Amino acid sequence: MIRVLVVDDHTIFRSGVGRLLQDEPDMRIAAEAQNGAEALEQVRGHAFDVVLLDINMEGRSGLEVLASMRALARCPPVLVLSMYPEEQYALVAVQAGASGYLAKDSEPAELVRAIRTIAGGGQYLSARMSGRVQDQLRGLDDRPPHQRLSVREHQIMLMTIRGMSVTDIAEEMMISVKTVSTHRANLLAKLGLGSTAELVLYAVRQGLVH
């Protein structure tokens, strides 16, 4: 039996996944969490075969939660789900340690297939994205600047866009203020931007936030 933890801050979405999986004889929703803190508590205390993790939650983002899960002694495979197109976050999610990425508007059958693949030790990306991500990992394509950020720079970018201060980010990520400032300066330089306001505008134009 594939035990699934669903992490999403929308009750309706969690309920929908539960109804979808109840018809599958080899899997079940073992637990739910509506934020990062609850997700980490569940993973520390229970065994799961797959975690379905929303990338865009209130408070800590899915990428931040994923990083914390990966630091645990026992981290189950994670399938990142998002309303954002795969082109925006699939590579970042894989680089951060996710076993797969799936857009929330995918067909239900594809979600079931992805869960089975990841539970079996595989990696799952849609057929459309698999080749593109492999090219990206080899540096063969012409990616937009934000897709060239490191995972940590990407996390700091998202937290900055949410309005968090350098001090708040340092406390959240458990690193020094100086380190955050250095990463922030580096990511702005890579994006060719000069301020937080320009970063927010860039994120909106690139569809990184709604």
CB under 8 Å to 198, separation ≥6 — which residues? 188
User: Do 61 and 106 fall within a single domain?
Assistant: yes
Dist CA 3 CA 128 (whole Å): 28
User: Do 37 and 123 fall within a single domain?
Assistant: yes
Looking up residue 158, the CATH number of its domain turns out to be 1.10.10.10
User: Do 36 and 133 fall within a single domain?
Assistant: yes
pLDDT at 142: 61
Helix ranges (DSSP H) in 82-126: 86-95, 108-119
User: What phi and psi, each to the nearest 5 degrees, are found at residue 206?
Assistant: -85, -5
Q: pLDDT tens digit string along 97-127? A: 899 999 888 899 999 999 999 999 998 987 6
pLDDT of 141 over the 60 cut: no
SS3 of residue 101 by DSSP:
strand
Picking from 85, 116, 137, the residue at the C-terminal end of a domain is: 137
- Residue range(s) defining the domain that contains residue 188: 145-205
- When divided into structural domains, the chain yields a total of 2
Chain-wide mean pLDDT for the chain?
86
pTM for this predicted structure: 0.71
Picking from 137, 172, 189, the residue at the C-terminal end of a domain is: 137
Dist CA 146 CA 123 (whole Å): 23
Q: Taking a C-beta distance cutoff of 8 angstroms, is the pair 123, 115 a contact?
A: no
More confident residue, 193 or 3: 3
Could you tell me the sign of the dihedral formed by the alpha carbons of 109, 14, 155, 146, in that order? positive
Nearest residue to 21 via CA among 49, 40, 46: 49
Nearest residue to 34 via CA among 60, 15, 7: 7
- Residue 157 belongs to some domain of the structure: yes
Q: pLDDT tens digit string along 69-83? A: 988 888 999 999 988
Dist CA 43 CA 32 (whole Å): 11
- Residue 85 belongs to some domain of the structure: yes
Picking from 86, 119, 137, the residue at the C-terminal end of a domain is: 137
Two tokens, residue 153: 């720079």
User: Do 93 and 189 fall within a single domain?
Assistant: no
- Residue 210 belongs to some domain of the structure: no
Q: pLDDT tens digit string along 154-187? A: 889 988 988 889 999 888 888 889 999 998 998 9
pLDDT-derived band at 128 (thresholds 50, 70, 90) equals low
